[in-house]
Amino acid sequence: MTAGSRSEPIEAESSLSHPPVERLAIVGLGLIGSSVGLACRARGLTTEIRGADIVPDHRAHAVELGVVDLAFADTAAAIEGADMVLLAVPVGSMIPLLEQIVPHLAPGAVVTDVGSVKGVVAAAMERLLPSGNGVPGHPIAGRETSGPRAASADLFSGAKCILTPTHHTDVRATARVRGLWRAVGAEVLQMRPECHDEIFAAISHLPHIVAYALMGAILDLEGGENLQALAGGGLRDFSRVAMSHPVMWRDICLTNRAPILKMIGRFQGVLSDLAAMISAGDGEGLERQFARVRACREDLGNGNERSDSGHPG
């Protein structure tokens, strides 16, 4: 569970000899924010956890379930005196939220986030946190369900968490955030924000948008809703992906436009090629394309059966 059990060099390892965080503030008590709270409490990583959420039910459930010690509607009150602030709101709300909290941060407080797009967050942190205490992050975990009631102390066990510090980020701040994620069971990777956004446009944003488009095309058919009752597992997998939160996906689309549009273009090209083969009756070409994909999926294996379609993995 501790970072010390890993073989790569660890910075600021001493921060793990005592709780890595004294007072943690979690802004946004949805599935991810609440799971971080539960995971920290279960492992004794924090002295106190305060939460903020604009939804009264989220606040009530989070206190009830022991996600946080105290929950506030007022973000400034929640982050008062916190030495680490975790922002767990949809990506589109991240920058206004950062602007709002900066005047209220305790001196030296580290700010991190869990957004699915990192370029815009990294740029905003550079601009708004000149001390370098902003560490952009993205845990690859989630469920179809949302809110504090869906949270789990083990959501991040064995999951990956990507941090995207820039040359401007303080290395001690990065080390503290890394220590927190490792302590809740995640494997922490580090890459440049632009690199993260290109990769996730391909492996997460494109699949979700394609799933929405596919389900949309079927719903457009006469009696489309009823057709699904005849569907097998294939369509059910797609429709599960399309269950993800509309606001979260709207924000992802709007904050990672260029990489997403590039991947949609590439995908449309491959699909048009398949359509041309179908139209021309090119069985050999179709079989070759299908076999290639299958071979690669066999390489991927089934190591991690975690379902995270609810959160942008």
Cβ atoms of 184 and 167 within 8 Å: the answer is no
Interface residue with a copy of itself among 2, 14, 47, 272 (CB under 8 A) is 272
Q: Which is nearer to a copy of itself, 69 or 144 (CB)?
A: 144
Binding to a copy of itself, residues 40-79 (CB under 8 A): none
Interface residue with a copy of itself among 28, 115, 142, 165 (CB under 8 A) is 142
Q: Which is nearer to a copy of itself, 18 or 266 (CB)?
A: 266
Extract the tokens encoding 137.
Answer: 């992050």
Q: Which is nearer to a copy of itself, 134 or 312 (CB)?
A: 312
Amino acid at 306: R
Residue with the two structure tokens 């660890």: 10
CA distances from 238 to 47, 76, 85, 215 (A): 42, 40, 35, 8
Binding to a copy of itself, residues 144-163 (CB under 8 A): 160, 162
Extract the tokens encoding 39.
Answer: 């995971």
Here's the x/- map for a copy of itself, 86-115, by CB under 8 A: it reads as: ------x-----------------------
Options 41-49, 169-177, 178-186, 275-283: segment touching a copy of itself (CB under 8 A): 275-283
Q: How far apart are CA 79 and CA 104, in angstroms?
A: 7
CA distances from 308 to 2, 150, 272, 297 (A): 25, 12, 29, 18
Q: Which is nearer to a copy of itself, 51 or 313 (CB)?
A: 313
In angstroms, give the least distance from the CB of 200 to a copy of itself: 8
Cite the DSSP H helix spans in 220-305.
224-227, 233-241, 246-255, 257-280, 283-300
